[in-house]
Amino acid sequence: MGCFGNGLTNEDRDEEKKKKEANKKIEKQLQKDKAIYRATHRLLLLGAGESGKSTIVKQMRILHVDGFSPEERKKKVEDILRNIRDAILTITGAMSTLSPPIQLANPENQFRLDYIQDVSSQPDFEFTEEFWDHTSILWNDGGVQSCYDRSHEYQLIDSAKYFLDRVDIVRQPSYHPSEQDILRCRVLTSGIFETKFQVDKVNFHIVLGRLLLEMSFP
């Protein structure tokens, strides 16, 4: 009785060999990825608003991930502008609500305060030269400074003084945020924010955000 082959042609055998080699490569890569995953330290940052979660992540990027790209710095300009507007709005708005209330050191600045409260609080507000002039002059008014000194009596972002001191720098069309500016910038964390970096060949993966209470690592 004769013997029959398995019916595979040379072409079929070559194809089968290629598939096995491809599977081996995939398996090898999966093992490599698994090893990296297991060697990564995963950190969840939880905390209330303005507790410093984002600042920690930004510091890690500056120290271990080459900082921020020019594009990222450019995107931060709008946030910094809003920080300045919110700061001067909050301080000048608190002057009349504190007990006892605080008056402007220079009454001639009242129209500037009115502008800040009425115009810059509008949703479609644009940062005009008028806004910058009023903000700079008001920030140097003794009454506004006194109100800032009492900021423990109302809620004010912790970077208010830092950015209001830098109004004449930030207002320039050529302004590019420094690393310190980005660290000081305050933005409400929404959604999930993460970063990965390596320290002494040890991998870290940090995740933070208001949704963290509803998520966990796989």
**Per the annotation, where are the binding residues for Mg(2+)?**
54, 189
| Phi-psi sector, 200: left (phi>0), alpha (psi -120 to 50), beta | left
Beta bridge partners of 198: 203
Q: Can you tell me the distance from the alpha carbon of 125 to that of 121, in angstroms, rounded to the nearest whole number?
A: 7
Residues that constitute the known binding site for GTP: 50-55, 158-159, 183-189
Q: What separation in angstroms does the CA of 93 have from each of 111, 121, 135, 187?
A: 14, 11, 13, 21
Q: Can you tell me the distance from the alpha carbon of 111 to that of 208, in angstroms, rounded to the nearest whole number?
A: 42
Are 157 and 87 in contact by the 8 Å Cβ rule? The answer is yes
- Given the DSSP bridges, would you call strands 202-208 and 193-199 parallel, antiparallel or unpaired? antiparallel
Residues that constitute the known binding site: 50-55, 158-159, 183-189
Half-sphere exposure of 109 (CA within 13 A, CB side): 19
For 150, which DSSP code? T
Are 171 and 149 in contact by the 8 Å Cβ rule? The answer is no
